[in-house]
Structure 1
Amino acid sequence: MSIKKLLSALENPDHPLLGPTLKGLNLWGLCQSAGWTSVAYNIIHISAILFVISQYIELWYIRSDLPSALRNLSVSMLSTVCVVKASTFVYWQHDWRDIMNFVSALEIYQISKNDKAVNSIIKKYTQYSRRITYVYWFLVISTVLTLILAPLISILSSPEDRVKIKNNTKSYPEIMSSWAPFDKSRGPGYIVITIEHVLICFYGGGIVANYDTNAFVLMSFIAGQMKIIRQNCERLFEGRDTSHDVILRRIACCYHHHISLVKFAKVFNDLLSPVMFLYVVICSLMICASAIQLTMKNTTNMQKIWISEYLMSLITQLFMYCWHSNEVLDMSKKVDQGIYKSDWWSSNLRMRRNILLLGGQLRKTVIFTAGPFAVLSLSTFIAILKGSYSYYTILSEKAD
């Protein structure tokens, strides 16, 4: 099967924008249907939560070994974010479905009107959503494969380690650090723990890839719909039929379109904000821990490559959230410019009052937050990097 056919199989005519992301959410058990499959997926999600608990148990046992503890901590915190994303999405999946149905119903209605200008905007942000989805999926797959293959490459690239393992003076390297009620350093126990880690890596990668791309696509949708509202405001007095009733109907359409979009954005933010609060806090610590590992003297070249790739993935993930949220915020501040670009001055006093009411509605901005304390924006992204560097400076001094 060619790549083009594979990608076309991800499309869904009932969900023009959300086809690929919806497929991924269904495949990884975030959007569930009634029946035995729902039970099976929930067992998998619970198993992932138990695995994260085992990671923190192992962290307690190895707390005196700083390099091992930092490596465990960086992966454990990312695993925590994964299971929180999965758990909250499954728990609030009915609200998520309402959001997706709203997006698809609105787009299908807009496309059916055959408005070239509107369809052009929809096509642009849909194409952008496809590109960002597939590129992000590739980034996550690369990170997962790097994490899985890092121990194997480490053994192959170090003859000294192979000799130590053969002489039983060193245990086999693990993909991740987790506790197990059996000897996991070699033999059947090592095989079992390796299989478990591989499965968990694919599970976590799928959760991150699908949850994040779904959020990015929805943010792109909101920004695109804001552009449509602004354009429709610019065309309030265009066309042959510019009677009072027609213009009033256009104003009402823009008004209700913006109200529904703001309402949709608020529900979306209510679902995303608690997860992003946890992620922003944890991401700061993960970036800091990864930076410390890079500067340690006993860190091998292979470990540095893995940590560098892991660190870039963290920064990219955080940047993508802040970038798309910043785009929505910026676009929501510009949407009322469409009124001023229209021929509002040619209308009578009564119509100007209606336009004034529309302008008041359009001045309401859409802001996505990370809990009650932080706004997702580029300035927040820069602040997090600065904070991570400050943590790194303090911890590196203590480590020395």
Structure 2
Amino acid sequence: MIFPKNEHLKVCMYANALLGVWPYIFENNPTLRKLYNIYSKATFTYYLLYILTAIIQLVILLTRQEINVKEVFANLAITLLYSVTIMRVYAIKSTRMRNIIKEIMDLEDKTMASGDKQIIEIYEFHTTQSKVSNVIFLVNIFIVTALYFIHPLFVEDIIKFDAEKNETISIKALPLSSWFPYDEQKHYLASYLWHILDGSIGASFVMYTDIFTFSLIIFPLGQIHILKHILRHFNEYALKIKHQLGVTEEEASFITIRECILKHNSIIRYINDFNKEMRNIMVLDFLQSSLQLASVVIQLLVTQMNLINFIYSAQFTVSMLIRLLVYYWYGNEIIVESSNIAVAIWESEWYEESKKVKNLMLIMMMRCNRELCLEIGPFNTMSLNTLIGILKATYSYMMVIYRR
């Protein structure tokens, strides 16, 4: 079997496998696995080399006597995002992330094997949310990438005087901002095609690792909703346990609340593992998001205005906003819904339970006072308030830079 069967991770699993990033593939075929590892290293090495050329070009732009704001921000808009993606790739391949992926696959198998239609419906609803978010983001980035390749063809050539050659030269625009070991204007077609290759690989790494993170964030939200459903219908599930195991009502209630506590602990452990692996990456993503958005908008303001350039910049901005909205909307939902676990307990017929079960319910409610959240390093959490902060910072960057 090439891929393990999993609906929640299906889209991001196939996508990341194209770049050699997906860790669970060809598990039963050592030869193909070795070839896949070679392919994985080759694609990632090429990606690193491209980012290196982009950074070299950025240094060249910043060290010129006359700094071209348009060129600097065209470089930053891509280089910042691509650089953070390097850490995402390493995270996906880490042992902790492999364990998280394995946990998702195991929980999906258990959920589908349970035969509980309501729980399966809740799980499938969040699986659909994951797939839809992934597809919407992929489509938007594909459009942005295509526009990125096309828009230089609609930019007028820059005419400037070369003092060294004592002649006037015409400079044609290229899709990306990177350094070439040769004169790119003399070999424009080769440079243009090379940028198409660079842009395709770079955009693929960004969007495929992003949709993987989307799926990881949406998954615990589904588990929280399943737990809340069980707690709200506590008596029904306790009755099922009673008939299945042939125990007393009190023992069935105790077993049910114990399983709920174990599931709650499993969700907490999942969130903690995610934070340990991703919190530092999310710090860098948070710091670069405002500057990147500002860079795109500044490009729109200083670039020669025509329909293609406007559509390109607008689509790029929309794609980045979709990306941020998915991250911070679902991050916010985890905070809200994890706090509502206590409400779900209150909505059950807790007053009919024994003192022993009531005490366990109370302990579980007390644990819910410490909300679950996705961390942005030690400084902040992923929430809608943080998203608003990013947008405010974007506006501040724009005002400071554009006035200069």
**What TM-score do the two structures reach when normalised by structure 2?**
0.86
SS at match of 1:169: strand
In structure 2, the partner of 1:147 is 148
Alignment partner of 1:206 out of 190, 204, 207: 204
Aligned-residue offset at 1:363: 3.9
1:53 aligned residue = 52
Counterpart amino acid of 2:134? T
Cα distance in 2 for partners of 1:328, 1:107 equals: 19
Residues 1:183 and 1:122: Cα distance change in structure 2 (over 3 Å): same
CA contact (8 A) 2:257 2:361 kept: yes
Q: Residues of 2 paired with 1:180 and 1:147: CA distance?
A: 19
Matches within 5 A, 1:244-323: 244-296=250-302, 298=304, 300-323=306-329
SS of alignment partner, residue 237 of structure 1: helix
| Distance in 1 of aligned mates of 2:265 and 2:209 | 26
CA 1:247/1:274 → structure 2, altered by over 3 Å: closer, same or farther? same
* Pairing partner for 2:9 from 12, 18, 23: 18
Give CA deviations for 1:87-129 in whole Å, capped at 9, x if unaligned.
3333x2x322211111121121122111122112112112222
Other-structure match for 1:3: none
What is aligned with 1:130?
131
Q: Distance in 1 between matches of 2:59 and 2:322?
A: 30
Match of 1:337 in 2: 343
Runs of 5+ unmatched residues, structure 2: 26-32, 161-166, 243-247
Corresponding residue for residue 108 of structure 1: 109
Offset at residue 50 of structure 1 (A): 2.0
**Residue 225 (structure 1) aligns with:** 223
**% of aligned pairs identical?**
21
Counterpart amino acid of 2:141? V
Deviation of the 1:292 alpha carbon: 2.1
Distance 1:263 1:298, change over 3 A: same
Measure how far apart 1:169 and its partner are.
3.1
Alignment of 1:160-239 (within 5 A): 161=157, 169-187=169-187, 190-238=188-236, 239=239
**Matched residue type, 2:53:** S
- Is residue 72 from structure 1 mapped to residue 75 from structure 2 by the alignment? yes
CA deviation string 1:143-186 (max 9, x = no partner): 1111112123x16xx6xx4999xx98313321101111111113
Equivalent position amino acid for 2:41 in 1? N
Unaligned ranges ≥5, structure 1: 1-9
C-alpha contact 2:300 2:310 (8 A) present in aligned 1:
yes
1:85–1:207 CA contact under 8 A, matched in 2: no
- The aligned amino acid for 1:136 is F
Deviations 1:309-354, CA, capped at 9 Å, x for gaps? 2222222211211011111111111112121111111123233222
User: Which range moves more in the overlay, 239-248 or 253-262?
Assistant: 239-248
Distance 1:387 1:251 in 2: 45
- The equivalent position to 1:390 in structure 2, one of 375, 378, 396, is 396
Q: Mark the CA change 1:142 to 1:168 in structure 2 (over 3 Å): closer, same or farther.
A: farther
Per the alignment, residue 30 of structure 2 pairs with none
What amino acid is aligned across from residue 172 of structure 1 in structure 2? K
Query: 1:246 and 1:297 mapped to 2: Cα distance?
Result: 69
Contact kept? 1:171, 1:186, Cα under 8 Å: no
* In structure 1, C-alpha distance between the alignment counterparts of 2:215 and 2:61, rounded to whole Å: 40
Q: Relative to structure 1, is the Cα distance of residues 298 and 116 closer, same or farther in structure 2, using a 3 angstrom cutoff?
A: closer
**Deviation string, structure 1 residues 51-75 (Cα, Å, up to 9, x no partner):** 2121121122223222212212222
Cα distance, 1:297–1:73 mapped onto 2, change above 3 Å: closer
Instruction: Name the CA distance, whole Å, in 1 between partners of 2:78 and 2:362.
Output: 53
Identify if the C-alpha distance between structure 1 residues 244 and 213 changes in structure 2 by more than 3 Å, giving closer, same or farther: same
Question: Which residue is equivalent to 1:370?
Answer: 376
| Count of residues paired in the alignment | 377
- Residues 181 and 265 of structure 1: is their aligned pair in 2 closer, same or farther, counting only changes over 3 Å? same
| TM-fit CA distance, 1:290 | 2.0
Q: Per-residue deviation at 1:297?
A: 6.7
> What secondary structure does 2:319 align onto?
helix
Distance 2:255 2:387 in 1: 42
How does the TM-score come out when normalised to structure 1? 0.87
Q: Please give the alpha-carbon distance, in whole angstroms, between the structure 2 residues aligned to 1:84 and 1:217.
A: 17
Structure 2 distance, partners of 1:287, 1:243, is 58
Instruction: Choose 347-356 or 280-289, whichever is displaced more.
Output: 347-356
Calculate the aligned-residue CA RMSD, in Å. Answer: 2.4
Contact kept, 8 Å, 2:175 with 2:195, in 1: the verdict is yes
Q: Is the 8 A contact 1:219 1:324 kept in 2?
A: yes
Q: What is the one-letter code of the residue matched to 1:125?
A: H
Residue 299 of structure 1, CA deviation: 5.0
| Aligned 8 A contact 1:293 1:299 in 2 | no
SS at match of 1:174: coil
Question: What secondary structure is seen at the aligned counterpart in 1 of 2:234?
Answer: coil
